Amino acid sequence: MLEGRPPKCFHVYNKTGIGTIGDKVLVAIKGQKKKAVIVGVKQKQAPLVPKFDSNNIVLI
């Protein structure tokens, strides 16, 4: 994300529809649909799981 807008998540592949660490998501990047995995989130996590200052994904 060095240039342009950040990716937008518009689908989470789980029953609840709320993404947490390790969930697969579908994101829109520069007008294209890409699959990704969530590797870090801002919200509070379980004990011993680090809290990040931004939401992070890795493209598959």
Look at residue 59 in the predicted model and tell me its pLDDT. 96
Look at residue 2 in the predicted model and tell me its pLDDT. 60
Burial class (CB in 10 A: 0-12, 13-18, 19+), 19: buried
Look at residue 15 in the predicted model and tell me its pLDDT. 94
Look at residue 9 in the predicted model and tell me its pLDDT. 93
pLDDT-flagged residues of the chain (< 70): 1-2
- Domain locations in the chain as residue ranges: 8-59
Look at residue 1 in the predicted model and tell me its pLDDT. 52
Task: Say which CATH class 8-59 falls into.
Answer: mainly beta
The edge-to-edge listing of strands for the beta sheet with 32-40 is 8-12, 24-29, 32-40, 56-59
Q: Look at the block and give the residue holding tokens 């809290």.
A: 51
